[in-house]
Structure 1
Amino acid sequence: MSGESATDYIQHHLTNLNLDLTEGTVEPGATGFWNLHLDTLIMSFGLGALFCYIFWLAARQATSGTPGRLQNAVEAIVEFVDKTVSETFHAKSRLIAPLALTIFCWVFLANLMDLIPIDLVPSILSALGVSYWKVLPSVDLNFTFGLSLSVLVLIIAYGIMGKGVGGFFKEFLTHPFGIWLLPFNLVLNLVEFLAKPISLALRLFGNLYAAELIFLLISLLPWWIQWALGTPWAIFHILVVPLQAFIFMVLTVVYLAMAYERH
């Protein structure tokens, strides 16, 4: 901590490195619409590229003979996601399974960054002149809301694909009470419509933010007790990392299936 108070230490680790597009300056903790969180963007795009590279490498090394460990792992993930999608989304779509696979692997890798020691990456980057860096993209609402808003766009698109433009708006205005209670239908459907991306984003953010905060609190303790508390929490968190990715993926597929099917 080197002279920092506990509050300053935690605040430092939860501060993004921002690029102010209006002034072209890079500064920590800046707020406003025209600010980009450079650490979140670099980490999320880097992890997305890592996901693509791993699966490309597995496809390149695939063999009909005895598969290697990488091929086994990738095939297990693909089969698991494909089975989950087939049980949830019953219509035919060439996009849903790849979308679900991308969401699961991308969110999983993003969450996995929480298992890296708290001070490791910031210490390395601090020696290179970068004072602020959040390794965990899932602790940034911009990342989680970016994913959920993309899902919202797909919900609208699949609703129109499954029901047509007229059918989509007719169901939105008349379900569940019929045309005579249109105002109530509109309010209920609008609340449900907006609650889906909000709940997706906040669920992922809240769980990972709480986990990151506990890791930060443990790191404030004396070194001889950090391992005693940090190791069990990290083992438990190994279950949380894939679980949150799985929940985000399943809810996305469920929402798209609900939007596509006629009621």
Structure 2
Amino acid sequence: MAAEAELTPTGYIQHHLKNLTFQVQEGSFWTLHVDTLVTALLMGLLMVFAFWMATRRPTAGVPGKWQAFVEICLEFVDQQAKDTYHGSSKLVTPIAITLFFWILMMNLLKMIPADFIALPLEALGVHYWKPVPTADVNATLGMSISVFFLMLFFALRAKGLGGFTKEFLTAPFGKWMLPFNLILNIVEWLSKPISLAMRLFGNMFGGEIVFLLIWVLGGASIIGALAGGLFGLGWMLFHLLVIPLQAFIFMMLSIVYLSLSEDAH
């Protein structure tokens, strides 16, 4: 860790909130957040591996503990998707499963203290590594933009290009209010992915800052360490609810938006 980051609490927090970046060309607009990409990919692979371990030797009788747990989780998400989505697409449940468990895996990294990841990487010469991908707005926007394109796909499949265009220009005020309809529908469609991304990012980023503040408090003195440990435990227990809840909200809103995109106005 850089020396200036160790001297002040502000420097320490800023250090842990900085991404490891890579620019294809110096001064280019396109900057890759390497830590977000790598960590998100690893969590996705870990999710797939966990599901594969549960299904590689399934038993029809009494399932093993891991198989039973995975089946309960998948049935829960499948039921939520069926209750929320009123169309006939078979893609909705796989989309819901992917979103919920992938976001959940990324959110769970918040339970690992930042230094437990940063210090070993520092020894390897990696000076910056933001461990929680969902605390990076680029990751949450990437997922919400994917949901946005899925909304377009579902709408076009259900209504056709002509029906979608007609509805976009004439709903909800009729064809004589076309400019107002256009503005309203553009705002409505763009606000959905933006709100999805910002809700998840805001909760995860804010929680990360609070964890770092508590960690800084704990290093001030013995009393600070005791207070930091107490507050840290309380905040961690609170996040045991926040972490799955944010994944669930992102998944449910995505399904609602997919369902609404097929409905006629």
Give me the TM-score of the superposition, normalised by structure 2: 0.94
Whether 2:226 is the aligned partner of 1:230: answer no
CA 1:251 to 1:32, structure 2 compared with 1: closer, same or farther past 3 Å? Answer: farther
Whether 2:55 is the aligned partner of 1:59: answer yes
**Among 251, 257, 260, the residue aligned to 1:258:** 260
The aligned amino acid for 1:244 is: Q
Q: SS of the counterpart of 1:110?
A: helix
**Among 125, 128, 134, the residue aligned to 1:129:** 125
Unaligned runs of 5+ in 1: 24-30
Deviations 1:204-260 (A, max 9, x none): 000001100100000011322221110011001000000000000000000000001
1:104 equivalent in structure 2:
100
Q: Quick one: distance in 2 between partners of 1:32 and 1:203? A: 29
2:45 equivalent in structure 1:
49
Q: Quick one: distance in 2 between partners of 1:61 and 1:170? A: 51
Listed as ranges, the matches of 1:165-184 within 5 Å are 165-184=161-180
Whether 2:7 is the aligned partner of 1:4: answer yes
Q: Quick one: distance in 2 between partners of 1:92 and 1:155? A: 14
Q: Quick one: distance in 2 between partners of 1:105 and 1:177? A: 40
Q: Quick one: distance in 2 between partners of 1:219 and 1:9? A: 10
Listed as ranges, the matches of 1:211-250 within 5 Å are 211-222=207-218, 223-250=225-252
The aligned amino acid for 1:189 is: N
Whether 2:72 is the aligned partner of 1:72: answer no
Paired residues, number: 256
1:160 equivalent in structure 2:
156
Q: SS of the counterpart of 2:217?
A: coil
Q: Quick one: distance in 2 between partners of 1:183 and 1:32? A: 37
Q: Quick one: distance in 1 between partners of 2:84 and 2:118? A: 41
Q: Quick one: distance in 2 between partners of 1:32 and 1:186? A: 34
Q: SS of the counterpart of 1:11?
A: helix
Q: Quick one: distance in 1 between partners of 2:113 and 2:69? A: 25
Q: SS of the counterpart of 1:165?
A: helix
Q: SS of the counterpart of 1:22?
A: coil
Deviations 1:26-79 (A, max 9, x none): xxxxx8522111100000000000111111111112111211111111111111
8 Å CA contact 1:175, 1:185 repeated in 2? yes
| Cα RMSD (Å) | 1.3
Q: Quick one: distance in 1 between partners of 2:134 and 2:24? A: 23
1:87 equivalent in structure 2:
83
1:26 equivalent in structure 2:
none
Listed as ranges, the matches of 1:18-33 within 5 Å are 18-23=21-26, 33=29
Q: SS of the counterpart of 2:126?
A: coil
8 Å CA contact 1:43, 1:135 repeated in 2? yes
Unaligned runs of 5+ in 2: 219-224
Give me the TM-score of the superposition, normalised by structure 1: 0.95
Deviations 1:157-197 (A, max 9, x none): 11100111011111111111110111111111110010001
The aligned amino acid for 1:233 is: W
8 Å CA contact 1:118, 1:219 repeated in 2? no
Q: Quick one: distance in 2 between partners of 1:58 and 1:99? A: 19
8 Å CA contact 1:104, 1:248 repeated in 2? yes
Whether 2:32 is the aligned partner of 1:36: answer yes
